[in-house]
Structure 1
C-alpha cells in the first residue's frame, strides 16, 4: 500500500511546478507605494474615552464622541502560534503595526491569545511573561497606529489549564461545561481576569480599561450544540452525560409532571420520570423530535444565561466596550441565542479544511456558482439594529476559485452595511518570505499572508469595504423572529435558500416580531417561495428598478444599487462602482463589458479589478489606478493524491508559484498618454511594460521581467 501511494503521488505531481516562481522575499511596502493606502485610509488617533467604540445611530459602530457617525473596520486576524512564529519582538511589532496601517487595517483580532500565553506552562493561569510582554507591546504599537483590538476571552479548549501542549486542537469540556458547571465558569472568569486586567506597561493601563479594546468575544465558537458536534464520535452518544442533570433541571421548570411531559413528547420510556430527573438526552441529534426541540430551547436558555453572567463579570471588572459571543452556526437556535447580544459576530467559510495532514481534502468548487452560500448564511445571522462583525471568513486555500473571495465577501459586506470584516489567517501579512517556522515554509490553508491571491483579495477588501467603494443597499428586508415558537425538532434548521438569496439584492437581517405583517418583510412561518414574491413586491413598490435583472430561478442576482451582479450559471461576478470596477470569472467565453473596464478575453479563470487610488471621485477622472489581476498560486512541489487535486499529499515548499495568465482589456472613455507598470508583491513599482497614446487597450500578462505579480499601476496623463 505504501509503495502504491508513492507512485500515485508521483504520477499526480501538478502543473503548478511549471507556474511562475515569486522572486520577492522582502514583502514590506514602502511609504508612497501604490499599495500604501494610508494616504486616503487614515486611521484616527485612539486617544481617550471619546475614541471608544459604541453602538451609534442606526445600530452601527461609532466612536463615542460622534455617535451619529459610522465606523467601518477592515480587520487583521492575528491567530499566531509557535508554528507560525508567535508574537513578534518589539522592533518587529513596530514594523508590523505600521505595515498593517499602510494596508488599510484599522482593527486587529487577537485569536487563540490564551493558547499563546499558556503554551509550555505547567501551572494553571501561569501566563508566559515573555509572551505577555510581547502581546502588550504589540497592543501598544497597534494603538499608536490607530488600530483597535478585538479579543477573544476564550479560544483554546484548554483555556488557562496548565500541563497541556494540544492548545490549538479541540478538546471536550470547558466550552460546553461553563454553561452549567460553576467550576468551568470560574475558570473562564479567572482566565479573562489574568489576561486582561494586568497593566500594560506600554500604554499605562490594563487592556480591559483601554479604549482601544473595541470588541470582546466572550468565547470563540462556544455554542452548546456546536461543541457536542465538534466532539462527536461514531458509535458514542451524541451528547455527554454531564448535560443530563442540567437538562432535567430545566425540564422541571417547564413541565409540572411526567404525564404532561409525556403528552408533549409522546416517546417517554417507562424508566424516564421528570420528578426523578431521569429524562434522557436525545440519542440521535439528526432525528427531528419534540425531545430535540426542547433540547434546543434549553440550549437557548443556558447560552443566554451564560451571556448575562459573563457580561456581569466583565462590567464588574470595569470593561466599557462592546461584547459578543456565539459567533458561528447560522441555525434558528443559535440565531435566537444571539438576539440578546450587544453586537453580533459570525464566522463563515467556503470550502473549509480541518487539518494540514496528508489526506485532507476540499471540494474545490466555486462560491459564485453556489450563489455565495457562505455569505448568505452569515447575512441571515445578523440582527438588525446591532453592530455586525464577520470575525472569521475565508475562501480557503487550495481551492482554485479562491480569487472569488476578494470580491464576494467584501462587496456584499458593504452592500449589507456590516461593521467589521476579518479574513481569518495566521496573520494577514508577512514581512518576508522564508521565515524559519513550520507554517511559513510553504502555502497552507488559513495562511493568507503567504498567498498572493488572498493578499490581492485583502487589498481589494480595503477599497470595496472600508473605503466604501461599494454602496450600502437602498432597501432592508427584515426577517421576523418570534422566539421559541420558531423552533422545531430539527437542530440544523436554518433560513431557506430562496430567502437568504435576497442578501444578494438588498440588506437582510433578523428582527423581533410576532409576524411583522409588513409588505416588505419576511414573516413566520417561512415560505421558500417568499423570495420570488419579495422581488416582485419590491419592483411593484418602486423600491427595485423594473430593469433589475434578478431572477432567482435562473440564478441571476443584481443588487438594488445596480453595482453588483452575480451569475451562478456562468460563475461570474461583476462590480461597477465609481471608484472600482471588478470581475471574477471561471472562464470568459465572450467579452465582458463593465462600465469603464472592458475584458475582451482572458486565459483561464481569475479576478480583474481597476481602482482609483489618487483620491479622485471616479475612474473617469483618475490619473493613478491600481490594476489587480489574480489567478491562482501554490507552493513548489505541491502534490496531491488524486488527479482532480482535491486531496492533499504534500503542501510543498517555497517559493510560491503563480499560475500564468493574460487578459485583453480596454478602458472605455479613457484616453491620453498612458503607461502600465508592474508592482511587485513588495509594492515596488518597476519600469513600465505597456505604453500608449490614445485609448487604453492592451494584452496584459501577470508574467513580468521581475517575476509574476498580482498588481499593476496604470497612469494616464
Structure 2
C-alpha cells in the first residue's frame, strides 16, 4: 500500500466534538456469551468440508500446474481456508491444553484446514531477558496447539521471523515496528546467524506431542522466511520526520554494487546526471536517495540493487531451511505489490501477499480510517495482489481484511472469497488475533471490545468467514477459464519510481479472468499484457471478444464500471455499489444501495432498508439451490461496540472503542425464492450455531421479510428448510 496513505490513515484528528455511534433502537445487543459450536449445527461444515488426516500422502506440495495439492494426488488442486493465529498476551496468548483441543476442533467445524502462526517469536520471548530464552510454558502451549491442529487435519504456515526483535532478550516492544533485524538480515552476518539460530531452536526442535520437529512434520506446508521484510517497505515503516529515508546500513553495499556495474565515477555521472562533487565511486561515497518519492536514475538503480539483494537473501535463508531438513514450500516478501518487489519474488517457490482495505494504524484515540466501500474502487485491494502473483506458482493470501469499524466491511465476506476462487488462489487467510473465539467476555485487553484485526468478536466478519468456507473452500465459485499474463522481462522493467506498481487500468482485468506475472521474451507475447504497459483493459477485452477467448455476451463495460467474470458467476457494478454472485450452490449480493430488486436466479432480493450482505447457500451438496432442501441464509449489516464514540459525524476518527456487548445494526430485507414447497420454515440460527424456533413458515411460494431482530436476539444466520 502507498506509504503516504498509511501515514494519512494514522493521522490524529484533534479538537473535534465527540459523536455517539448509534441510536439505541437501531442497534441490538448480542445475547450469546458462549460461541462454542455444537457438532451437527447448520454452521458445522466438518461433513461438508472434511479435513484429511495429515500424513505423508497428505503433505501439501506444488502440483505440476503450480497449485497446492496433496502429495498423493499432485494433479488435483486443493483450496485452503486459513485461520490466522496472531495471539499476544493482550489477546490471551496461546491456550492451555484443554483450550487448544477445543479451539482446534472448533476451527475444523468452521471449515478451516490450514492455520498461520504469526508472531510466535514475540510470544516465546515475551518478558525474557536473555537471547533465545523461550518461555517454557508458551513453548509447551505452542507445541501442543500444533499437535491439536494436526489431529484435526489442519496444516500449518509459520513465519520464520515476525517480530523485528527476533529472539533477542530484554525488549518489551516485540509487537511494535521498532528494531532493525528485518533489514539487517540482508546485510549483517550476525543478524543472519541470529535468524538461523531461531529456526534451529524453534522449528528444528522436536515437538514432544508429535514426536517430530515441526520443520520435518508433514503438517508444515509453508514457511514465510520473515514477515513483510522487503527493504523498501522496512524503510517506510521506520520513516520519521527529519530522518533520511534509507538506513545507513545500505550505503556501503549499494556503493559496492555500483562499483561492479559502472567502471568509473564518470560513467556513473553520465548514467545518472546528478552526481554531487563529493560523490566518488572509487571512494564509495555515492549517496542514497534523499527522497523516496523523487523519481530519478539513482532511484532506478537502488531498486535494481534491492532486487538483487532480496533475491540473494531469500535464496540463502531458503538453503538454511533445506539444510535443516525442511521439504515444504518457502516464501517471503509478502506485501507491497510494486514492480520492484515483484521482481524480488520471481524465484520464490510460492508467492504470499498481504492486503487491506481501509487500513487502520492503531487502537489509540484519534486512529482513523476512510470509511469507504471497496466496491467503489473496483476492489482495488484484491486487484493489487492479483497483479503480484507469479503464474505457475502457488499463491497464498497470508493476510487480508476489510477492517472494523468500516461500515462496508460486510463486502469482504463476498468480495475476497469470490475473486480468490475466480483467480484460483491456493490459500485465503483473513488476518486477526484469531478467526474464532470460544466465548465473549474473556478478561484480556483485546477481547473486551471489537477492534481492528480482531475478527473473532465481530459478527459481520464471522459471517463473511462462514460464507468464505462455502464460496472459496467448497468451490461454489469456479476458477476462471482464461488466464491473462502480464509480461515481465526483468530489470529493464524498472522505472525511476520506487513506488511504481501495475496500472489500475490493467489490474481490473482480474475482475474478468485470472491474471498474474509471467516471464516473457521481450519480442513477443501471444495473449495478455505486454511490456511496457501502454495498453488498457477495455482494448484487451475487446480483442478477447473478437478472437473468442471471452464470451461474446459478457457484459463487462470498463467505462461504466461494470465487470462480469468470464464464468458469468460474478458481476461487479461500481456505480450501484453492488457485487453479485450466482452459482449453482450459492447466490449472494453485497450492496450499498438497492434502488431496484436484485434477481440472482433462485434468490431475489426485492427490498432492503440499508446496505448489507445477503447470501443463500445449499447445505445438501451436491444438491444445488434448485433442488436442495436445506439452506443457510446469511444476512450481515453492521456491528459496533456498546458506548462507541467517534470524533466526527462520519465515524472516521475513533475516540473510544466502547465495550461489550456487541451491537448488531437492525435490518430487514424482503426475499423471494423461485422455488415452491409443500411446507417451508425459516429458523434463526444463533451465533453459536443453535437453531431457534421458526419465525416464518408457509406453503407453496417461498417469500418472506427477513429481520435480524429475532426473539432470541440478533443474528446473521438463518436456516431455511423445505418439505414436499
Q: State TM-score, norm by structure 2.
A: 0.97
Within the alignment, does 1:397 sit opposite 2:408 as a pair? no
Contact 1:16–1:638 (CA under 8 A) maintained in structure 2? no
| Match among 21, 27, 40 for residue 19 of structure 1 | 27
Within the alignment, does 1:170 sit opposite 2:186 as a pair? no
> CA offsets, 1:38-87, max 9 Å, x none?
0110000002x222211102100111121111111000000000000000
Contact 2:681–2:698 (CA under 8 A) maintained in structure 1? yes
2:146 alignment partner in structure 1: 139
Within the alignment, does 1:646 sit opposite 2:652 as a pair? yes
2:500 alignment partner in structure 1: 493
In the alignment, the residues of structure 1 paired with residue 690 and residue 481 of structure 2 have an alpha-carbon distance, to the nearest angstrom, of 39
In the alignment, the residues of structure 2 paired with residue 16 and residue 464 of structure 1 have an alpha-carbon distance, to the nearest angstrom, of 34
> CA offsets, 1:417-453, max 9 Å, x none?
0000000000000000000000000000010000000
1:8 alignment partner in structure 2: 17
| Match among 577, 583, 589 for residue 583 of structure 1 | 589
| Match among 63, 85, 91 for residue 84 of structure 1 | 91
Secondary structure of 1:194's partner? helix
Within the alignment, does 1:669 sit opposite 2:675 as a pair? yes
Within the alignment, does 1:541 sit opposite 2:516 as a pair? no
1:414 alignment partner in structure 2: 421
1:234: Cα distance to partner? Answer: 1.5
1:517: Cα distance to partner? Answer: 2.9
Output aligned runs, 1:33-432, within 5 Å.
33-47=41-55, 49-432=56-439
Secondary structure of 1:37's partner? coil
1:617: Cα distance to partner? Answer: 2.9
Contact 1:16–1:634 (CA under 8 A) maintained in structure 2? no
| Match among 589, 597, 602 for residue 596 of structure 1 | 602
1:534: Cα distance to partner? Answer: 1.1
1:29 alignment partner in structure 2: 37
Aligned residues: 711
Contact 2:21–2:651 (CA under 8 A) maintained in structure 1? no
In the alignment, the residues of structure 2 paired with residue 227 and residue 51 of structure 1 have an alpha-carbon distance, to the nearest angstrom, of 36
Q: State TM-score, norm by structure 1.
A: 0.98
Contact 2:157–2:222 (CA under 8 A) maintained in structure 1? yes
2:705 alignment partner in structure 1: 699
In the alignment, the residues of structure 2 paired with residue 447 and residue 672 of structure 1 have an alpha-carbon distance, to the nearest angstrom, of 43
1:470: Cα distance to partner? Answer: 0.1
Secondary structure of 1:305's partner? helix
Secondary structure of 1:578's partner? coil
Secondary structure of 2:289's partner? coil
2:714 alignment partner in structure 1: 708
Output aligned runs, 1:606-625, within 5 Å.
606-625=612-631
Q: Which runs of 4+ in 1 moved over 6 A?
A: 4-7
1:687 alignment partner in structure 2: 693
Secondary structure of 1:408's partner? helix
Which range moved further: 412-421 or 251-260?
A: 251-260
Secondary structure of 2:325's partner? coil
Within the alignment, does 1:572 sit opposite 2:578 as a pair? yes
Contact 1:33–1:683 (CA under 8 A) maintained in structure 2? yes
2:566 alignment partner in structure 1: 560
1:303: Cα distance to partner? Answer: 0.4
Relative distance call for 1:6 and 1:240 in structure 2 (3 A) is: closer
Q: Which runs of 5+ in 2 are unaligned?
A: 1-12
In the alignment, the residues of structure 2 paired with residue 7 and residue 206 of structure 1 have an alpha-carbon distance, to the nearest angstrom, of 55
Secondary structure of 1:70's partner? coil
CA root-mean-square deviation: 1.2
In the alignment, the residues of structure 2 paired with residue 428 and residue 490 of structure 1 have an alpha-carbon distance, to the nearest angstrom, of 37
Secondary structure of 2:46's partner? helix
> CA offsets, 1:662-717, max 9 Å, x none?
00010013433100000000000001000000010011100100000000000011
1:456 alignment partner in structure 2: 463
Contact 2:585–2:621 (CA under 8 A) maintained in structure 1? no
In the alignment, the residues of structure 1 paired with residue 69 and residue 24 of structure 2 have an alpha-carbon distance, to the nearest angstrom, of 46
Output aligned runs, 1:466-505, within 5 Å.
466-505=473-512
In the alignment, the residues of structure 2 paired with residue 290 and residue 109 of structure 1 have an alpha-carbon distance, to the nearest angstrom, of 40
Relative distance call for 1:17 and 1:215 in structure 2 (3 A) is: farther
Relative distance call for 1:18 and 1:701 in structure 2 (3 A) is: closer
In the alignment, the residues of structure 1 paired with residue 87 and residue 240 of structure 2 have an alpha-carbon distance, to the nearest angstrom, of 29
Within the alignment, does 1:532 sit opposite 2:500 as a pair? no
Secondary structure of 1:190's partner? helix
In the alignment, the residues of structure 2 paired with residue 394 and residue 331 of structure 1 have an alpha-carbon distance, to the nearest angstrom, of 20
Contact 1:57–1:69 (CA under 8 A) maintained in structure 2? no
Secondary structure of 1:654's partner? strand
Contact 1:620–1:670 (CA under 8 A) maintained in structure 2? no
Secondary structure of 2:51's partner? coil
In the alignment, the residues of structure 1 paired with residue 25 and residue 332 of structure 2 have an alpha-carbon distance, to the nearest angstrom, of 43
